[in-house]
């Protein structure tokens, strides 16, 4: 299993917006939750910015790209130049990474101020560290996360030339009935998000939690061709009756109805962490000659310690006998 990212929607109270920001729900199709926060430079005389705190390893902000956008960013009060501002994307494309903090670990306070153009925020993500608190956090497993176990004929998709991009610019799809995937996690809720193709066709699947009896869910029965993909669609959502259990849950999804024209397309899994959700520490197991070499080094170290202890013991006994002999010699003097 590999660790998820922490996911923070634009509407989360973890993000502070200062200035005349708007919450746009009209032009926010193909965004997470159907809304974005928007600030248009020049729309008011007040200074505007967004600020958020993280305990993680870097941070990325996603939204709609504006080629005229200019940002001033600060990290912990000091000027910081973003690693990526979305250049190379056409104006108006949604789901673009417009700010990248890079891999800077630790508690951070990030302040981003728009200087020109439109700053349009959909969500932000950051990888956790050992100090990250998971309780109540939204944790996102991308379709490429190794924690997902796929069975059947699944096809990865990447590098989309579309008006909106999926999460991490990747999707995984199948048109095979009976194909499935599973994931285990510790948390209080779970949701499955995917995408619909622009062509016609029905789509259904079963969703099972912890071995429960699966029942088919009709996801779509599209009868007309659309002009674009439909993204960030919630296929399934489940909240557990015991939200703070430490026992891992298992989600199983099996495709019932799909086709080449309307495949089942997975984008990401969202789980809500609880007090028992932990960061998975990666352990590297050595095999073959590397393992033998490591074992030999450990053995030599142990042998060296044993010889040193033995030498100290022998020296201590010798010194004690010498001290006693000297004492007897002193007593035998007239």
Domain that holds residue 329: 286-334
| Cβ proximity of 266 and 248 under 8 Å | no
pLDDT of residue 303: 60
240 in the same domain as 119: no
pLDDT of residue 331: 39
pLDDT of residue 84: 73
104 in the same domain as 127: yes
- Three-state DSSP at 254 gives strand
- Three-state DSSP at 193 gives strand
pLDDT of residue 267: 98
44 in the same domain as 182: no
Q: For the chain, what is the domain count?
A: 3
Helix (H) or strand (E) holding 325: helix 288-331
Domain boundary among 264, 283, 302: 283
Instruction: Sort 190 into a burial class: Cβ within 10 Å, 0-12 / 13-18 / 19+.
Output: buried
195 in the same domain as 158: yes
Which position has the token pair 């079963």?
A: 206
Tell me the pLDDT of the chain (334 aa) as tens digits. Answer: 478 999 999 999 999 999 999 999 999 999 999 999 999 999 887 889 999 999 999 999 999 999 999 999 999 999 998 887 788 899 999 999 999 998 888 899 999 999 999 999 999 999 999 899 999 999 999 999 999 999 999 999 988 888 999 999 999 999 999 999 999 999 999 999 999 988 889 999 999 999 999 988 999 998 888 878 899 999 999 999 999 999 999 999 999 999 998 999 999 999 999 999 998 754 334 444 444 444 545 455 556 666 666 666 666 666 666 665 554 444 345 5
pLDDT of residue 175: 96
- Using H for helix, E for strand and C for coil, what is the string for 271-304? EECCCCCCCCCCCCCCCHHHHHHHHHHHHHHHHH
188 C-beta neighbours (distance < 10 Å), count: 21
How far CA 25 is from CA of 21, 32, 125, in Å, comes to 13, 11, 21
pLDDT of residue 311: 67
Domain boundary among 77, 107, 131: 131
pLDDT of residue 287: 44
Q: What pTM did the predictor assign?
A: 0.82
pLDDT of residue 203: 95
CATH code at position 274: 2.60.120.260
109 in the same domain as 163: no
206 in the same domain as 111: no
Domain boundary among 84, 112, 131: 131
Helix (H) or strand (E) holding 307: helix 288-331
159 in the same domain as 102: no
DSSP state of 90: P
pLDDT of residue 302: 53
252 in the same domain as 177: yes
DSSP assignments along 135-181, one per residue: TT-EEEEETT-TT-EEES--EEEE---SSB--GGGEEEEE--TT-EE
pLDDT of residue 297: 56
């Amino acid at each position: 299993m590999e660790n998820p990212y922490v996911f923070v929607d634009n509407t989360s109270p973890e993000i502070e917006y200062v200035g005349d920001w708007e919450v746009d729900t009209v032009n926010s199709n193909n965004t997470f939750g159907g809304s974005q926060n928007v600030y248009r430079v020049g729309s008011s005389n007040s200074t505007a910015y967004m600020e958020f705190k993280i305990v993680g390893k870097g941070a990325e902000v996603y939204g709609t790209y504006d080629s005229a956008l200019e940002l001033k960013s600060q990290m912990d009060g000091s000027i910081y130049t973003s690693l990526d501002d979305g250049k190379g994307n056409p104006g108006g494309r949604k789901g673009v990474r417009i700010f990248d903090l890079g891999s800077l670990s630790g508690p951070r306070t990030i302040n981003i101020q728009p200087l020109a153009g439109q700053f349009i925020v959909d969500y932000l993500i950051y990888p956790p560290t050992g100090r990250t608190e998971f309780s109540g956090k939204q944790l996102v497993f991308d379709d490429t996360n190794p924690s997902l176990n796929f069975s059947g004929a699944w096809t990865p998709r990447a590098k989309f030339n579309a008006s909106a991009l999926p999460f991490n610019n990747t999707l995984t799809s199948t048109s095979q009935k009976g194909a499935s995937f599973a994931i285990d996690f510790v948390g209080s809720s779970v949701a499955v998000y995917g995408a619909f193709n622009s062509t016609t066709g029905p789509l259904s699947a079963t969703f099972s939690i912890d071995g429960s009896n699966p029942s088919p869910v009709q996801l779509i029965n599209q009868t007309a061709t659309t002009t674009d993909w439909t993204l960030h669609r919630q296929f399934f959502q489940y909240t557990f009756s015991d939200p703070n259990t430490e026992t891992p849950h298992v989600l199983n999804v099996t495709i019932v109805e799909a086709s080449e024209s309307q495949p089942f397309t997975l984008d990401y899994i969202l789980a809500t962490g609880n007090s028992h959700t932990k960061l998975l520490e990666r352990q590297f197991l050595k095999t073959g000659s590397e393992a033998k070499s490591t074992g030999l080094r450990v053995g030599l170290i142990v042998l060296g310690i044993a010889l040193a202890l033995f030498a100290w013991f022998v020296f201590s006994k010798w010194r004690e006998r010498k001290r006693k002999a000297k004492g007897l010699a002193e007593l035998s003097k007239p």
